[in-house]
Amino acid sequence: MVSPAQKPAIVARELTKRYGDLEAVRGVSFEVGTGEIVGFLGPNGAGKTTTVRMLSCFLPPTTGTASIHEIDVRERPRDVKRLIGVCPQEDNLDPDFHVMKNLLVYGRYFGLPHRVVRDRVVTRTRGTADPRTTRCCGRSATTLRRPGTSPCSRSISAA
């Protein structure tokens, strides 16, 4: 629980997600304090991944509200995405794109300029296969992380 003196890092209030008649998430509410680690446990189909997708601005809630460090996920999704790191269970890279294209697309989520992404990829892949022609199997998007930041310092992950 969050102490009264400390503002919560994550707030979810009555989050709901519906797909037609199917209610994937029903009225989820919780708070997570700064520095706390949280995990979602439950059976398949319980709404864990859907909840994380709503919190990380990849899926809009049907109803309810959510904020990350007091930034509303609906009103300022780009700002929220800049604050958090999501570690998905599965690879989200497009297998039809080469490494460079995947990283350029991923970098856009965080507002990184095309030039910055390109320069980082070129610098960090010297002596390896050409990222402009190599398909993405086995490569990671860690190239895009800002120097000096821990990707897990403010992360949300689905179990």
The answer to whether 135 and 65 are in contact (CB under 8 A) is no
| Residue 64 and residue 15 share a domain | yes
pLDDT for the residue 141: 43
Query: Do 78 and 117 fall into the same domain?
Result: no
Q: What residue numbers bound the domain in which 77 lies?
A: 8-83
Greater pLDDT, 23 or 100:
23
Give the residue, 27 or 121, on which the prediction is more confident.
27
At 159, list the tokens.
Answer: 């179990």
Whether residues 109 and 44 fall in one domain:
no
For residue 137, the model assigns a pLDDT of 55
74 and 39 part of one domain: yes
Each residue's pLDDT tens digit, 96-150: 787 788 788 878 877 888 899 888 888 877 777 676 666 665 444 444 444 444 3
Between residues 102 and 66, which one has the greater pLDDT?
Answer: 66
Would residue 159 count as lying in a domain? no
Cα–Cα dist 66/28, whole Å = 10
Residues 6+ apart with CB under 8 A from 147: none
* pTM summary value: 0.59
Total number of domains constituting the chain: 2
Q: 67, 10 in Cβ contact below 8 A? A: yes
Predicted local distance difference test score (pLDDT) of residue 120: 85
